[in-house]
Each structure stands twice: as C-alpha cells, then as structure tokens.
Amino acid sequence: MSKLTVIIPSFNEEDNIENTAKTIGETLSGAGIEYDLLFVSDGSTDQTFDIVEKLSKADKRIGGIQFSRNFGKEAAIFAGLDYAKGDCVAVIDCDLQHPPATLVEMYRLWEEGYEVVEGIKSKRGRENPFYKLFCAIFYGIMSSLMKMDLNKTSDFKLLDRKVVEALLDLPERNTFFRALSFWAGFKSTSVTFDVAERKAGKSKWSFSGLVKYAISNTTSFTTAPLKAVFVLGVLLMVFSLVLGVETLVNYFLNIAADGFTTVILLLLIIGGCIMISLGIMGHYLARIYEEVKGRPRYIVSRTTSDED
Ligand code: UDP
Ligand code: MG
C-alpha cells in the first residue's frame, strides 16, 4: 500500500506538537491512509524536539529532525522533502491553520492520478490590515510576473514522489516552495481550504522578516527588477534629451534661467535612480555570491532515529 509522508515544519511549537500529531494521525487513520509524520524542528530552542522524540518512542510513525539553528521555513520544507520516504509527500503547518481533513481530500486526488495538489486559501485568515496590504502588494507583483494568482496559495500541498525528486534536483539554495510547485509543472489540481486560527503560540513572522522574505523570493524567482533598471534608464534618457534640447534652445535665445533649483532636483533624481539601480544589482550579486559559496541549505544536529 502506498504511504503518505506529512512534513511539519516546526519552530518553537512545543504547545502544538502533541495535539497536531494526534489530530493529523487520527484524521489519516480514520480515512484508512497509511502515513508517517516528519517534524522538522527548525532550530527550536524550546521543548519541540524533545516532545517529538517522546512521541516517536511511543509511535514509530512519528519521526523528526532537529536543525542546528533556525534556517527558516523554506529550509525546513526542503529538509523534509530530503528525508521523506512516502510515495507522496504533504507539507502542513504545525499550528493546525491548515485543516488536516483537507489532507484526506488531497490524498484522494493523488490516488486519482494528480501529481501536485495545491492548497488554495478560500479566504485569508484573520490578519492585521497592514500585513494584508503588504501581502497584497508583494503577491500582486509576483503574480503578474509569474502569471498566476499567488495571493491565495500556501505551502500546504501534496506532491507525488516524482515531483519531490524533481524539486530536490534543483541546484539552487534560495528556493520559493510556494511557487516552485507551479513552476515544476506536472499534472496539477487544487483544493480550497479555510485558514483556521492558530491553535497555540504566536506567529513567527516579524515585519522585517516578511520584507526579507519578499525580496529574497522575488530575486530568487525572477530577473524582472534588473530589466526594470534598464527601463528606468531609458525613461531617464528620454527625459534628459527633452530637457537638454530645451536648455540649449534657451541658452541660444539668451533666456537661460540661472536655475539652481533645476540642477539640484536633477542631481537628486538621477542620483536616487542610480543608487536604486545599484541596490537592485547588488541584490542579485549577493544572490550569486550565496549560491556560489555552495553552503548547505540546512544542518541537521539530531534525528529521532539516532538512538536506534
Ligand atoms: N516555521 C518554521 N521556521 C521559521 C518560522 C516558521 O519552521 O523560521 C514554521 C512554524 O512552526 C509553522 C509554519 O512554519 O509550522 C508557519 O509559521 P507561522 O504559523 O508562524 O506563520 P503564519 O501562519 O503566521 O504565516
Ligand atoms: Mg500559522
């Protein structure tokens, strides 16, 4: 019989682990699905991994790995894909914001032959308006670049083994899991789900964390900002041609304004554009630097099978 591996990225989720394992386990066995749970403790500093170890001793279907430090959710997901043994693999949040019942729905679609089952949020959960606006802008840009609606997508997905292998074959370190499953292609479908309230603990996102996430995902997925620099250059060029002609005409007509204001404004605008362009290029340079260094995506310090 085929097996489903459920990857659960967990960062300081000590209050959730036990309940999450129980809820997901009961839902899947209730539906007669053979499964194992893989908790990826993303450098948790609380009891998260100890609880996973305890559960693992009582139930062999539960296992986990612990990172040496916090490497981020993306790294946790990819570590999960690396370690997963199932014929299909699902990723679900540890706070039960993704309903486990949807896993069953996803699994049935996989049995019907779909290789990628995307979890689409029917509506976003309760979020503060500032966060919502930020997400809308970021996903608006990303969606138009990638020609798909990312705003409602999530990391909640089920992938066939073939897709997992394809994603693991990608050499890059800066990945964006949410969009990569679209990018990879394969026979896909989606299910919608309602985002539940977080069961316990707090969301791990800070505003600066989100900004970093947005920038890193944009630069890892598209070179559009670099092209925008070129467009900006062309616009400035046209602007300066018009202004240049006007200035020369005025000069020869002897009505040239002794305008300091214009000069200062121009200096500021062009200076600003140059700095932004350098910044954008700098980001890509940093990306290349990080990729070239070839450091691993994550470092595992412990796994639950260590003692066996
Ligand atoms: N998470 C993680 N590493 C991190 C941050 C979060 O593995 O650095 C996990 C977290 O434990 C949870 C999931 O990613 O299972 C989603 O995180 P969270 O609930 O904080 O985000 P939100 O639901 O608010 O977007
Ligand atoms: Mg959450």
Domain boundaries defined on the chain: 3-220+300-307, 224-293
Q: What is the pTM of this model?
A: 0.75
pLDDT at residue 5 in the model: 93
Burial of 265 (0-12, 13-18, 19+ CB in 10 A): exposed
Q: Please tell me the distance between residue 198's alpha carbon and the centre of ligand 2 in angstroms.
A: 6
- State yes or no: pLDDT of 204 exceeds 90: no
Radius of gyration of the chain (CA): 25
The minimum-distance atom of ligand 1 relative to the CA of 9 is 7
45 lines ligand 1 (CB under 6 A): no
Amino acid at 303: T
Q: Are 97 and 203 in contact (CB under 8 A)?
A: no
pLDDT in tens, 113-145: 899 998 888 876 566 777 777 777 777 777 776
Give CA–CA dist 114/158, Å, rounded: 10
* Residue located nearest, by CA, to atom 23 of ligand 1: 203
pLDDT at position 246 over 80: yes
Alpha-carbon distances, residue 158 vs 81, 85, 120, 155 (angstroms): 11, 14, 12, 9
What is the distance between the alpha carbons of residues 155 and 153, in angstroms, rounded to a whole number? 7
Which segments within 42-91 are labelled E, that is strand?
Answer: 62-67, 88-91
To test the pocket of ligand 1, the residue of 11, 48, 97, 153 to mutate (highest count of ligand atoms within 8 Å of its CB) is 11
Q: Which pLDDT belongs to residue 138?
A: 74
What is the CATH topology of the domain spanning 3-220+300-307?
Spore Coat Polysaccharide Biosynthesis Protein SpsA; Chain A (3.90.550)
Rounded CA-CA distance 230/11 in Å is 41
Find, among 8, 78, 6, the residue nearest to 35 by Cα.
6
pLDDT tens digit string along 44-96?
998 899 999 888 888 888 989 999 998 888 899 999 999 999 899 999 998 88
**What is the C-alpha separation between 98 and 156, in angstroms, rounded?**
7
What's the number of CA atoms in the CB half-sphere (13 Å) around residue 283? 21
Give 3's pLDDT tier (boundaries 50, 70, 90).
confident
**Lookup result for tokens 């600066």:** 208
Question: How many Cα atoms occupy the beta-carbon half-sphere of 230 within 13 Å?
Answer: 4
What is the mean pLDDT of the segment spanning 148-152? 68
Name the token pair of 271.
Answer: 């200076």
